[in-house]
Structure 1
């Protein structure tokens, strides 16, 4: 009985039969990223999928192949299988802050599907502002709204900063920069 359990281990999630080229990828807001997942011989004509969610059993499939090499498209995501190279490629486009999550490359099969975890993060946005001579001692702030009268200041050189965001000032170059991360 113990030997049987050991022999079944290689076909559960994260097995060597399926592996992500990278287990963590990132991309910029409004940009794109690509994930490649490799698989062993014998899985070429099986459906491949990409799903979102930290829990393997309840992740939401975003896009899936039909067992062929035809590209399949979902909402801002596509998947294409290259059966000769035994690799399928997932492309996520128009990334948003909430695109950061745990995803899974998977192969559909009877019983439990094969799956491997991939962490997706979103790169910070760097904003740099220039100011003229004489403004070095004034408070610098960041407000993402075009209407200054109704704008909510996100961060400024005095007072508290938003969690995860960073502000730096270079008075010699007369610039201030802010790195913005989504929550």
Structure 2
């Protein structure tokens, strides 16, 4: 307990002001705010309160209840709970140190000590770099110590510890949120965050956090890079209904003995295998490529296809095709059309022959009549 010279002369009250034993620590991040809470005993509701530092002389007083606010300091006295709170804004590293909460009275004021710790609002010296692939999933491991087994775990985007918990995308009390899922293995002391259906926008900085009851929360930093699917090997193809089209699929030589595949879908991680369908025929297999021919194209065959060889869905293992199918301009006629066309052609030929014969007969008749008239 620290005593100071009174700031204001007031009548001596019968009830002394109690103080907590030892110094209570308060924590804040550079650039942010921190609240310093100061309890007081019954009977001091009408007395002036203040916060001071250094030697707590008159010049060291930072804010009083009669001021309300002054610069980066503001004060609020809740007389119902008998706690006055001082908010220190725009924290700087040199704001760290000892402060005293005081209530003025005749004689010596009684104050409670507070110790403020200030940290830079960034994290961390060590960053875990992780790669994922567009449309795929990634699992991020976040270790913690044995004292944090029952503490709240959380995961946020960015690298600002001060706002991480408030902006957390998922926590151990809400383990599933859209594409994010959190799982806590208490035996190993690791909680994991799985992000599914990755997009390029998921690339960036993330923090794994563990909440502490007192003091700063504990964080580990992650830098996630989401790569685009084989953008260098993307091809556009077109086909005509009822005809065939062939996909040429190169692959790395080390995957020659692996399963060769062609699948259809917007993403390689969740596409439908097409190799089991009879219209999809594997051919021309070599040490570096193979072909898949699709026979009797249908309108529904249009879409995005992925082909490659190997069990791992990594960038570069796939070739992406965008297939369009012309269902109108070059659509082959129905067989009945050919029969109708042949019948019409036959009738036309017959009519032509009849007309030719009539014309010839008419010409012969005209010639005979001219000879008779002479």
Residues 53 and 100, structure 2, Cα contact 8 Å, conserved in 1: yes
Match of 2:94, SS state, is helix
* Separation (CA, whole Å) in 2 of partners of 1:116 and 1:56: 12
Q: Which residue of 2 aligns with 1:64?
A: 64
Counterpart of 1:25 in structure 2 is 26
**Unaligned regions of 5+ residues in structure 2, if any?**
4-15, 130-221, 226-374
Task: Name the CA shift for 1:12/1:121 in 2 (closer, same or farther; >3 Å).
Answer: closer
Q: Of Structure 1 and Structure 2, which has the larger fraction of its residues in helix?
A: 2
Tell me which residue corresponds to 1:115: 111
Q: TM-score scaled by structure 2?
A: 0.28
The structure 2 residue matched to 1:75, chosen from 68, 71, 76, is: 71
Higher relative contact order (CA 8 A, sep 6+): 1
Range that drifts further, 118-127 or 72-81? 118-127
Q: Is the 8 A contact 1:100 1:121 kept in 2?
A: yes
- Unaligned 5+ segments in structure 1 are 1-10, 132-169, 175-183
- Which residue is 1:126 aligned to? 123
**C-alpha separation in 2, matches of 1:23 and 1:58:** 23
In the alignment, does 2:107 pair up with 1:106?
no
1:84-107 per-residue CA deviation (whole Å, 9 max, x = no partner) reads: 111101111100011111111000
Structure 2 CA distance, aligned partners of 1:50 and 1:18? 16
Change (3 A) 1:92 1:12: closer
2:89 maps to 1:88: no
Q: Do the aligned partners of 2:2 and 2:113 also contact (CA within 8 Å) in 1?
A: no
Instruction: Give the Å deviation of 1:59.
Output: 6.7
Check the 8 A contact 2:26/2:116 in 1, yes or no: yes
